[in-house]
Structure 1
Amino acid sequence: MTAPMPLLDLDDSEGLSAADSEGLLRSVAMGGAQIRATASAVGEGVISRLAGLRPRSVVLIPGAGGARHGARIALALVGDSVGCPLLVLDRTPSWAGPLDVIVVAGDDAGDPRLVESVDSAVRRGAEVVVAVPDEGPMRAVAAGRTMALPPRLYASPRHTMTRFLAVFLAVAAEIEGKGSIEDRSAVLGRIADAVDAEALRDGPSNEVFHNPAKSLATRMSGRRVVLCGSGSVTTALAEFSSVSLMGSGLNAAAAELSEVIRSARALFAPDATSRDSVFHDPFFHDPQLDGALPTPPARAFVFATESTRGEARRRMDALADADLVVAADEDQTNVVISEMEQVFVLASRVDMAAAYVQLTGGAK
């Protein structure tokens, strides 16, 4: 029996591009453009009605996939700074009214739950922001009655989380009301620049050694992947990352770092039939005679921001095999970016790593 092998070399840029029939690499690289389009909408005053508003609550109602993960990350990032309760709910609550802001976001303009949520919020007199494609049933209920932030550029629904996160953060910043509209638009512009810079570093023409996304994909290959967060923000990011990697065919679990540490003995216990054994040769493995293939070893990937890097590194010592994943390498001491920018950069890197895993067959 022949052991599974990567279908492509990660340093074969021409082969990767030729194999990318779904346009995965281009779709991920559109992240910065999606955020910049949202920044343009903010600069045009699309949500200026919210400026300086003092709502009773801000309710995020996300669709499935990227919108839901974007809402969870936004809650972790700015939930304590909005000045009113920030909630993530499945639909417009029965108590919503003119004192509330409802943000409905998703990729599917025909999702009945999202359509009903917009209709209910409008009828109750709430301020409503809609970040859903302007088509189908959604157009019928939202037209002329809401603040519309539809996508201005197409990207695969697998790669829209950063756009939704940008929308949620833009709404929070508008309500907070610090600075001018131009200032708030510029913040998103800087995030878009950081994501674009990451996309350049992660491009197919850059070799593994100089490519964070390819390096991440290489480290995940042939492993049971455990993604960890060192706080609420990075744990939400780890949960998003596990779904992104699942889309590439790679099974990955996500948890808070302390939970992984508690399970370290079971996770990293040596396997008596380890594939690293000198007696294991996958080429001659016969499941009828030799039984099931040995369990791949586990490797943890710990997400951290600059403010939590030191603590995360210390806590990682309890894990037998773990990599620290941060936005900037230790040798990039001259690079200073905000926590928000770091989160966007890491999300973009994971999406690109997932694309490389899928293209090379590394999840098989």
Structure 2
Amino acid sequence: MNATRAIDLEDADGLLAADRDGLLRAASSAGAQVRAIAAAVDEGALETLRSSDRARSVIWVAGRGSAESAGAMLAATLGGAASAPITVLSEAPPWVGPLDVLVVATDDPGDPAIVGAAATGVRRGARVVVAAPYEGPLRDSTAGRTAVLAPRLPVPDEFGLCRYLAAGLATLHAVDPRLSIDLAALADELDAEALRNSAARDLFTNPAKTIAARLSEHHVALAGDGAGMLALARHGSSTMLRVAHHVVAAAGLADAVVALRSTAGFGSGLDQAASSADALFHDEEFDGPLPERLRVLALTLTDDRTVTAARVAGLDDAYLVTAQDVPDAPQPSTGAGRAEQQLAVLAVRLEMAAVYLRLVRG
């Protein structure tokens, strides 16, 4: 049996040759997915949502995966600014009615919970948006009485979060035109992020490759503070498992800090791992191998970077990750400004890191 040749992250040709399933292209398509949603909106896909009557609520129904994460991010970032509260559920609530906007988001048009939610919304007179393939039972149950934002690009669900985000942003803007939503700017930012993470760029100027290198051969936790960042951490953890077949924990920042301090000797558990000083003078020939240390990637918004940095100060195995982080780039990125844009940028970065981690493992 021939051994699988390991591929280095700096080997652009090797990475591209190993990408037989087109994962890099799929992970780089976030900008195109957002533009497809914008094109559908320009064609009038959401005209039925526009009304002089103010919506009582926006209900986001998603069963699992990227759609659920996108709903949590939308609620966390825009819940306080939108004129109607945003609720994320796994099925249609019993109180849904004509004053509500119901968004069903999934990659499976045969999901019974999603089909049932859409049918309930239509039957009770709610304004229903389908952010899913409009076919099969989902189409049959709604009989054309919905606004449809079906995917126009065939992309695996693990790379579809930005499409769901764009569908949610477009829906919120249709319901509340006062919200400042610019899908074209979001698409441009995601394209720029994909370019920064392209295989041809070396490790020290490629944020996704940098994350992949930090994840490799370590126990790693993605940590976030707040609902939006926690949703991003869960999405990153899920993507790492589904794409790279690599187990990465998702946790709140407070929990991750406690774990790091205990393993670094600042709290309980001093006997469970070596401190930084111990590691410096450790000799494997005499002392045996060091216990594997926990490494934490702290995901944070640009405005929260200073606070997050203070919380992980003194912890050698904690790394901050923000949308503006472009290591040693000749022209540093200006970064995405709005919170939902930063979350989308970081989602693309984590997705591409998962692809690189899979490719280098063969």
Among the aligned pairs, what percent are the same residue? 38
Provide the TM-score with structure 1 as the length reference: 0.87
Query: How far apart are residue 178 of structure 1 and its match?
Result: 2.0
Report the secondary structure of 1:154's partner residue: coil
Q: Paired residue for 1:342?
A: 342
Structure 1 equivalent of residue 41 of structure 2: 42
1:53-93 deviations in Å (ceiling 9; x for gaps): 41121110013211011111111111112222211111111
Matches of 1:128 and 1:267 in 2, distance apart? 50
CA contact (8 A) 1:69 1:161 kept: yes
Of residues 263, 276, 284, the one that matches 1:279 is 284
SS in 1 for 2:284: coil
The corresponding residue for 1:287 is: none
Report what 2:131 is aligned to. Answer: 131
Amino acid of the structure 1 residue aligned with 2:201: N
Q: Write out aligned runs for 1:149-228 (5 A).
A: 149-178=149-178, 184=181, 187-228=182-223
Cα offsets for 1:194-232 (capped at 9, x unmatched): 000110110111111111100110111111111111333
C-alpha distance in structure 2 between counterparts of 1:304 and 1:7, whole Å? 32
In 2, the alpha carbon distance for the partners of 1:353 and 1:280 equals 34
Give the counterpart letter for 1:13 in structure 2.
A
Give the 5 Å matches for 1:1-364.
7-51=6-50, 53-178=53-178, 184=181, 187-247=182-242, 248-268=244-264, 271=273, 277-279=282-284, 295-317=291-313, 319-329=315-325, 332=332, 334=334, 337-361=337-361
Mapped to 1, the partners of 2:115 and 2:5 lie a distance apart of: 43
Contact 1:261 1:318 in 2 (8 A): no
User: Structure 1: any 5+ residue segments left out of the alignment?
Assistant: 282-289
Aligned residues: 344
Classify the secondary structure of the residue corresponding to 2:302.
coil
Alpha-carbon distance change, 244 to 338 in structure 1, aligned in 2, over 3 angstroms: same
What are the Cα deviations for residues 87-139 of structure 1, in whole angstroms up to 9, with x where unaligned? 11111111111111110010001111111111111111111000110221112
> Which stretches in structure 2 are left out of the alignment for 5+ residues?
266-271
Aligned residue identity for 1:14: D
Change (3 A) 1:56 1:221: same
Mapped contact 2:240–2:351 kept (Cα < 8 A): yes
- Determine the C-alpha separation between the residues in 2 that align with 1:30 and 1:333: 19
Cα offset, 1:142, TM superposition: 2.7
Cα distance in structure 1, aligned partners of 2:21 and 2:33: 19
What amino acid sits opposite 2:154 in the alignment?
Y
Other-structure match for 2:269: none
SS of structure 1 residue aligned to 2:188:
helix
- Structure 1 pair 216–6 and aligned structure 2 pair: CA distance change class (3 A): farther
Q: Give the structure 1 partner of residue 268 of structure 2.
A: none
CA deviations on 1:130-175 (whole Å, 9 max, x unpaired) are: 0110221112123421001100111111111111111112212221
Distance 1:335 1:84, change over 3 A: closer
Conservation of the 8 A alpha-carbon contact between 1:227 and 1:242? yes
Query: 1:48 and 1:294 mapped to 2: Cα distance?
Result: 61
Query: Structure 1's 268 and 227: CA in aligned 2 closer, same or farther, altered over 3 A?
Result: farther
Distance change in 2, residues 1:205/1:332 (3 Å): closer
Post-superposition offset of 1:250: 1.6
Whether the 8 Å CA contact 1:268–1:298 is kept in 2: the answer is no
Structure 1 Cα separation of the partners of residues 110 and 126 of structure 2: 22
Q: Which runs of 4+ in 1 moved over 6 A?
A: none
2:196 partner letter: R
Tell me what 1:284 maps to: none
Q: CA deviation at 1:280?
A: 6.1
Closer, same or farther: CA 275–142 of 1 in aligned 2, 3 Å:
farther
Deviations 1:13-43 (A, max 9, x none): 1111111122111110111100111111122
Distance, in Å, in 2 between the alignment partners of 1:223 and 1:45 is 49
Q: 1:318 to 1:79 in 2, by over 3 A?
A: farther
